[in-house]
Amino acid sequence: MKVSRSDLNQLIAVKLHKAGLSKEHADGVADVLVHADMRGIHSHGAMRVEYYAERIAKGGINTTPNFKYEVTGPCTAVFDGDNGVGHVAAKQAMDEAIQMAQTSGIAAVGVRRIGHSGALSYFVRQAAKAGMIGISVCQSDPMVVPFGGSEPYYGTNPIAFAAPSNDDRLLTLDMATTVQAWGKILHARSRNESIPDSWAVDKEGHPTTDPFKVNALLPIAGPKGYGLMMMVDVLSGILLGLPFGNKVSSMYHNLTEYRNLGQFHLVINPAFFTDPVVFRQHISQTMDELNQIKPAPGFEQVLFPGQNNDLIQEEYEQNGIEIVDEIYEYLVSDTVHRNQYDHKDPFAK
């Protein structure tokens, strides 16, 4: 099923408003989810709506949060999301970080006590569109075996980065510290597709290609990914006085409870380090030079980070966003949710 950007945005916003969010916050969440679908990151797009709707309807997200922004130093601050929707809190915190970096050169803003915030690329691209470098990391519930271990401890703990060029292109990296994000497993399940055997393991710790048999994910590049997810957990959990490691709340265990998650934004103003015009020119030069590198056998072209998503977005702008039929049917239905996520094992169907 193909849907236009505006239609998908409206369908998501209406559903979340019906679940209990204010219109302003429903619109804010829809904007982040459609951004993900538009860039081909379907694991963080419309397929998440019913889960959010169920958690909202059951009280696991504060629908009337009292956001608080406290400046704690010349270039530091803490944004308290009061367990409202993470998408809106993280966006507002990034806006504050951008404003601080305009005058201080650097802004480090911790975002504490929020719900799931979706694709991090949305927030770092806020900074890049303002001419800044944006970095964002966030914690997630434990579902990854540490290198050499057999029990989950950390989450997929993603890292995102974006920087502006001297044209409309943005250099963008958004990656889980696992071989693949859990949302990609969910996406494979929604399409009844198999997964590569390098993504996850089953209950016995054996590699599996069946997304329904996944019992734990694997860190990217073994000990290197394990180290990165530890770093993310420190910055977005321990640093902000929040639960960390295997104490991070489960996405599905109890949808009536707040999640108290953390996120960390770092914004860098290039003008405090170099000529900002030259900086942007060199980012564009980097992109162009990467595209001009001779491709390896089996590849048509070397793409710069985020370029594949740019190409998907261009196609979707012209032809509509590809959405799984079942998800579309849910969005256009009168159903708020079908009570299918609460108290589920994180690896359950």
- Residues that are catalytic: 116
In 24-155, at which residue ranges do the beta strands (DSSP E only) sit? 68-73, 76-80, 106-114, 133-138
Please classify residue 69 by burial: count the beta carbons closer than 10 Å to its beta carbon, then call 0-12 exposed, 13-18 middle and 19+ buried: middle
Q: Are 187 and 42 in contact (CB under 8 A)?
A: yes
Q: Are 123 and 101 in contact (CB under 8 A)?
A: no
Place of tokens 């239609």: 7
| The one-letter amino acid at 129 | K
Place of tokens 């799984």: 324
Tell me how far apart the alpha carbons of residues 112 and 124 are, in angstroms, rounded to a whole number. 17
Please classify residue 289 by burial: count the beta carbons closer than 10 Å to its beta carbon, then call 0-12 exposed, 13-18 middle and 19+ buried: exposed
Backbone angles phi, psi at 134, to 5 degrees: -120, 135
Q: Are 115 and 59 in contact (CB under 8 A)?
A: no
Tokens representing residue 47 in the block:
């397929």
Coil, helix or strand for 342? coil
Tell me how far apart the alpha carbons of residues 320 and 102 are, in angstroms, rounded to a whole number. 37
Q: For residue 238, is it left (φ>0), alpha (ψ between -120 and 50) or beta?
A: alpha
Residues present in the chain in total: 349
Tell me how far apart the alpha carbons of residues 138 and 118 are, in angstroms, rounded to a whole number. 10
Please classify residue 10 by burial: count the beta carbons closer than 10 Å to its beta carbon, then call 0-12 exposed, 13-18 middle and 19+ buried: middle
